[in-house]
Amino acid sequence: MSEIIGIDGSSDDYQTGLLNSTSEKHNGNIVQLKKEDLSPVDYETQAFLTIFFGNLGLHYFNAGHSLKGAATLITTLGLGCLSINLLPITFLPQLIHAWHLNQGSCQDSDGKLIRQVIQLKKEEISCADQGVALILNMVLGYAGGHQFYSGKTLKGVLMCITGGFCGLWTVINTYQLITCGFRDSYGKIVYPSYLKEDEHNSWKNR
């Protein structure tokens, strides 16, 4: 995939548009991420493993964190053996990891950031905040909270009636949200909240 919204005047030592979410607002400056700081781990694969197999630790194995992966797998199997009712507990760390992945703060075993790289036109970006949509999806996804927030009332009602198709629709929407595959009622992409046009403008106007 290509780059996130090109920024004029970037140095050749930087991957255009990849911003370090932990320091982008430090002292009011936008700080770009050097190419060598970007993990070779495929973002979409990592997102898929996190959302669908996170409670088995497969996302940790994929990122090279074998010990964390083994610990997660053993914990899930152990809780499952104790009681099937304890298994939902294992999904909480999974959701937390999905949130960090969405915010661009997940690292591989070498300490490199696992980031999504995608090119979008300004007119393709929704004004809806991706972070808000993701939280609504995680908390009220079964009731279509994120669908109502993004202006898709009919889908929100359908999710509310069906309980998010017993949770399946909610899981799919989570994956879509963190991989820029979720759109608002105008067909615009709900974009990562740490990359917004006003921040790009503030960078270029310095």
Residue 125 backbone dihedrals phi, psi, to 5 degrees: -95, 130
pLDDT band at 119 (very low <50, low <70, confident <90, very high): low
Of 168, 166, 126, 170, which Cα lies nearest the Cα of 144?
170
Among 20, 200, 16, residue whose Cα is nearest residue 106: 20
Domain residue ranges of the chain, discontinuous segments joined by +: 43-102, 126-190
Confidence band for 192, pLDDT divided at 50, 70 and 90: confident
Distance CA 139, CA 96 (A): 12
Cβ–Cβ under 8 Å, residues 159 and 169: yes
User: Residue 125 above 90 pLDDT?
Assistant: no
Name the helix (H) or strand (E) containing 59.
helix 58-62
Helix/strand/coil for 173: helix
Across 6-30, b (16+ Cβ under 10 Å) vs e yields ebeeeeeeebbbbbbbeebeeeeeb
Terminal CA-CA length for the chain? 29
Model pTM score: 0.76
Number of H helices, E strands in the chain: 9, 2
pLDDT bracket for residue 111 (50, 70, 90): very high
Q: pLDDT class for 82, splitting at 50, 70, 90?
A: confident
Among the ranges 41-45, 94-98, 120-124, which has the highest mean pLDDT value? 41-45
